[in-house]
Amino acid sequence: MTQQSVIFFDIDGTLLNHHKELPQTTKEAIFRLKEAGHVVAIATGRAPFMFEDLRKELDIHTYVSYNGQFVVLNGEVVYTNPLNISSLVHLTESALHNNHPVVFMDHEDMKANVPEHSYIKESLGTLKLDSLPAHDPHFYKERELYQTLLFCPEGEETQYEREYQDFDFVRWHPVSVDILPKGGSKAKGIAQIVNQLGFPPERQYAFGDGLNDIEMLETVTNSVAMGNGDNRVKKVAKYVTKSVDENGIYHGLQMVGLL
């Protein structure tokens, strides 16, 4: 058997193609990794409830969700990093005044602060979720939130970036931005897992394609950018594989010697 490694996979544009489908070659590759004794994990900006079906299909129980703010190892929560609620309330009030809706998210659900909005439908619709978030402007009360979505056109988030130093803002859609705790990232979430499992850097791998993958790919020793990834992502990765639609995961795992 080859030496055991841990491999982290982003979801959208990495495991799933642009139709939100799991290519058959990707599924086969994941199970071959597991059969060889490797640890397969997910590192995503999605909430845990947004990829439960995928975890079941791939039999994966270790994951970094919310871009590093909610981390699970072998089915057990090992790290959380919630948002500053006081700052979030002020931001939400400002955003409401600017007609920029927000969606509050904990580990189990998400709720919007407005009854409906075209930006919410447009952006979350691309994730092909079963339903859009219901309206609950007070969802932030008496619970920990690990991410909030701010909906605004490109460039309009700069006013919030200047004012709210407790947060990082990462755009994932032309009309939507992730709001994260300052300094939170997939890389820090991954560190929580590899430190507990004891994998040395040379046996850590990560695959990604989006801007929220940059720090992960800069940090993980064996980093692989998808061929369909942003050019800024490709520049920081050690390797660049084919597109997700061209069996990119399978090809990339062969490239780094894991298959």
The catalytic residues are 10
Helix/strand/coil for 144: coil
Give the tokens for residue 139.
């969802």
Q: Do 168 and 193 form a contact (C-beta atoms < 8 A)?
A: no
Euclidean distance between CA atoms 124 and 117, whole angstroms: 11
Euclidean distance between CA atoms 154 and 159, whole angstroms: 12
Torsion-angle region of 128 (φ positive above 0: left; ψ -120 to 50: alpha; else: beta): left
Euclidean distance between CA atoms 33 and 40, whole angstroms: 7
One DSSP character per residue, 212-230 reads: GGHHHHHHSSEEEE-TTS-
Euclidean distance between CA atoms 104 and 113, whole angstroms: 8
CB neighbour burial string for 183-193, b if at least 16 within 10 angstroms, e if fewer:
ebbbbbbbbbb
